[in-house]
Structure 1
Amino acid sequence: MKSTTRMSSPLTAVGTALDRVRAWSRWFFGVAARKRTYYNLCYLLLAFPLGIGYFVLLVTGFAIPAGLGFAVVEIALTEPLALLIAGVPLALVLLCIGVPTALVVLFAAIELTALERLLADRLLGADVPTSEAATTVRERARRLVLDRGTWKGVGYLFSKFVFGIGSFVALTVGATFTYALVAAPLHYRNQLVGIHIGDPIEFVPRLTYQHDGWTTDVAPVTLSIADGELISLYVDSLEAALAVSALGVLVGLVVLHLFNGLSWLAARYTELVLRGTQPSVFSEPPER
């Protein structure tokens, strides 16, 4: 019995290790076959145009009331007498144009925040609970300005501009790098195709020692990287090009995993920031 137990223990350990290897292989190579991967890619692709649209809308909308308010303050500080004459017209313009514009932008921010929750739910699988819906128009108007969720949504929409640029850069670099490797059999004889530095890069370190009014400069040494010295992708045989292409497939799988990781971070960030924001007025309109 003891010998049987001793022999079965190594076999069990080997079987467990093989199961883990198979599970890891399915996880790594199956990334290209999972629906979630392409949902994540859709979210990352939409982040760039949406982020730019949010930024333009918010900056333009808040710039009008802020500009009018700064104009009133500047006139009051520099020309107080002129404020007596132009104060009433400026106040009317601020009340009739600036304040309504700011309220419209805040309302749009709430609805765009609801859109972001919907995208995170459908594409990323995020769970973002909302606050209780307003039951009356008066409560809705009060929460439009005073509710913390409104301003959390505004901050999130501004941050989506930065995330959109980052995701666009990541998608462009990842897709370009993967394509350059995978498509090597199509252009392996062309020396102009490759991954290289477009322009020379020069770095000139400068060391300065200063003490009691006198300064000593160490003679700088110029460090440069010329065109194309970073990575060369030129191969002169079909066999080598096919090997590079196979490597590109593996690189592409790694890139997809990185995109999934970026989407996972976006989902967690959305859950953290947009938790407790107001629901869309179109989904749950308040009573009059």
Structure 2
Amino acid sequence: MTSARTTVGTILDRVRAWSRWFLGVVARKQTYANIAYLLLSFPLGIGYFTVLVTGAAIPIGLGFAVVDMAMTEPIALLIAGIPLSLVLVCIGGPLVAGVLFASIELTALERLLATRLLGADVRTSEPASTIRERARRLVFDRGTWKGVGYLFSKFVLGLCSFIAVIMGFAFTYALVAAPLHYRNQLVGIHIGDPIEIVPELTYQHEDWAVDLTSPIPLSITDGELVSVYVDALPSALVVSAVGVLVGLVVLHLLNAVAWLLARYTELVLDGTQPSVFSEPPTE
């Protein structure tokens, strides 16, 4: 009898602990820090992508121009080769160096955000002691290129994070607010027009181009994704109660996404260089 009571008490303690954990997601500060990080990832990802692509476009374009001229008009290259090489070195070189320097500083910003908002623990490499060492590591340090890859990935991760937050909140609101509009068939989450996405990447230079197009288009038909139509207030209150439960689940899912992003940041940015502004070279 005592053993049975002990077992029942243990089960009840676990149920209470699980309930506190599940319901307490609303009161935890970390939940809202995670949501802030997920929302910030979208504009930051767009900014990172713009800086990297814009800075790299000119030197890459100049490089393709030299290769194209060598393949199609080698004689003209003998005449214009030196000026083009000077332009490539004098303009393209500093632009690449500037992009790599910016990537190191933006990587440092990402480490700061992940540490402050997600509680991640991202280790950095030893800071450069001289300007010469800093310049060498700018190009040849593996951490620089890890940071560049991470910043590019933030464009996709930020977009997915933003969609997850917005869709989760919209879905929850449509359910929780059912008593306010339970007889309105127009209330819900709709797609007004069909959406078709055909992933395509094109690089074109004069008479030739390289096209990378997905053979499978991604399409979403028009219609209603979520409907909350009911014809009685008691039913609407039940839908609203379900919406509260769904909202708690959404918060836990967003916390899980933030946890995965924290682990991803720790893995990819481990050993990257510290910011030059926080730890400048001494010489």
Shift in Å, 1:231: 5.0
CA RMSD of aligned residues (A): 1.7
Shift in Å, 1:194: 2.3
**CA offset digits 1:243-282 (Å, max 9, x no partner):** 1111101000000000000000000000000000000000
- The 1:196–1:97 alpha-carbon spacing in structure 2 relative to 1, beyond 3 Å, is closer
Matched with 1:271 is: 266
Can you give the 5+ residue segments of structure 2 that lack an aligned partner in the other structure?
Answer: 196-219
Matched with 1:126 is: 120
Matched with 1:139 is: 133
Shift in Å, 1:92: 1.1
Separation (CA, whole Å) in 1 of partners of 2:111 and 2:68: 40
Matched with 1:107 is: 101
Q: 2:245 aligns with which of 220, 229, 250?
A: 250
User: 2:188 is paired with a residue of what secondary structure?
Assistant: coil
1:58-207 paired onto structure 2 within 5 Å: 58-195=52-189, 198=192
Separation (CA, whole Å) in 2 of partners of 1:68 and 1:175: 46
Matched with 1:18 is: 12
Matched with 1:56 is: 50
Can you give the 5+ residue segments of structure 1 that lack an aligned partner in the other structure?
Answer: 1-6, 202-224
Shift in Å, 1:197: 6.0
User: 1:155 is paired with a residue of what secondary structure?
Assistant: helix
Q: Looking at CA atoms only, which structure, 1 or 2, has the larger radius of gyration?
A: 1
Separation (CA, whole Å) in 2 of partners of 1:144 and 1:8: 69
Asked if the contact 1:58/1:105 (under 8 Å) is kept, the reply is yes
User: 1:133 is paired with a residue of what secondary structure?
Assistant: coil
- Number of residue pairs the alignment of both structures matches: 259
Shift in Å, 1:100: 0.2
**Percent identical:** 77
Matched with 1:281 is: 276
Shift in Å, 1:232: 3.4
Shift in Å, 1:191: 1.3
- The 1:234–1:226 alpha-carbon spacing in structure 2 relative to 1, beyond 3 Å, is farther
**CA offset digits 1:139-198 (Å, max 9, x no partner):** 000000000000000000000001011101111111110010011111112111124565
Asked if the contact 1:180/1:195 (under 8 Å) is kept, the reply is yes
Separation (CA, whole Å) in 2 of partners of 1:67 and 1:194: 47
Asked if the contact 1:178/1:249 (under 8 Å) is kept, the reply is yes
- The 1:200–1:116 alpha-carbon spacing in structure 2 relative to 1, beyond 3 Å, is closer
